[in-house]
């Protein structure tokens, strides 16, 4: 028997997503209008099931991130946070944190 509650299981299935481009956002909007998926409360956070369905429908994601506990951060991740090469993003509804490491294409010119 599992020791996780239903809400914990549901939250662990939550993913933070970054779409590849505007066309992918438009595909999601079309799928919502057609009733194939439900409108997410926050478009940056979706269930793993929704992400899989969207990928089957041709939506491309730049990144799909799993939630992480502070105690699970590696030394390298902690160093990246300290040197501002990454950030922890917290979902206000679920209180889950996501580790987001900046990629060179994410940096602003002059930084």
Mean pLDDT of the chain, nearest integer: 84
pLDDT reported for residue 25:
93
Q: Residue 29: phi, psi to the nearest 5?
A: -60, -45
Confidence label for 40 from pLDDT (cuts 50, 70 and 90)? confident
Confidence label for 43 from pLDDT (cuts 50, 70 and 90)? confident
pLDDT reported for residue 42:
82
pLDDT reported for residue 11:
53
Burial class for 85, CB neighbours closer than 10 Å (0-12, 13-18, 19+): middle
Cβ neighbours for 16, distance < 8 A, ≥ 6 positions apart: 44, 45, 63, 64, 65, 67, 89, 91, 98, 100
Q: Does the pLDDT at position 34 exceed 60?
A: yes
Rg (CA), the chain: 16
Domain coordinates in residue numbering, the chain: 6-106
Please indicate, yes or no, whether the overall pTM of this predicted structure exceeds 0.75: no
Q: 24 with 59: CB under 8 angstroms?
A: yes
pLDDT tens, 4-29? 444 444 457 899 999 999 999 999 99
Looking at the DSSP bridge assignments, the partners of residue 17 are 64
Helices (H), the chain: 6-12, 22-33, 48-56, 75-82
Residue 102 DSSP one-character state = P
Confidence label for 104 from pLDDT (cuts 50, 70 and 90)? low
């Amino acid at each position: 028997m599992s020791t996780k509650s239903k809400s914990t299981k549901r939250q662990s299935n939550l993913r933070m997503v970054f779409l590849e481009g505007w066309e992918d956002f438009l595909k999601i909007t079309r799928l919502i209008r057609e009733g194939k998926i439900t409108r997410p409360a926050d478009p940056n956070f979706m269930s793993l099931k929704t992400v899989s369905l969207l990928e089957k429908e041709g939506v491309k994601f730049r990144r799909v991130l799993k939630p992480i506990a502070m105690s699970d951060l590696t030394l390298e991740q902690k160093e990246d946070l300290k040197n501002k090469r990454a950030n922890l993003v917290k979902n206000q509804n679920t209180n889950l944190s996501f580790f987001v490491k900046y990629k060179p294409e994410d940096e602003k010119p002059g930084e």
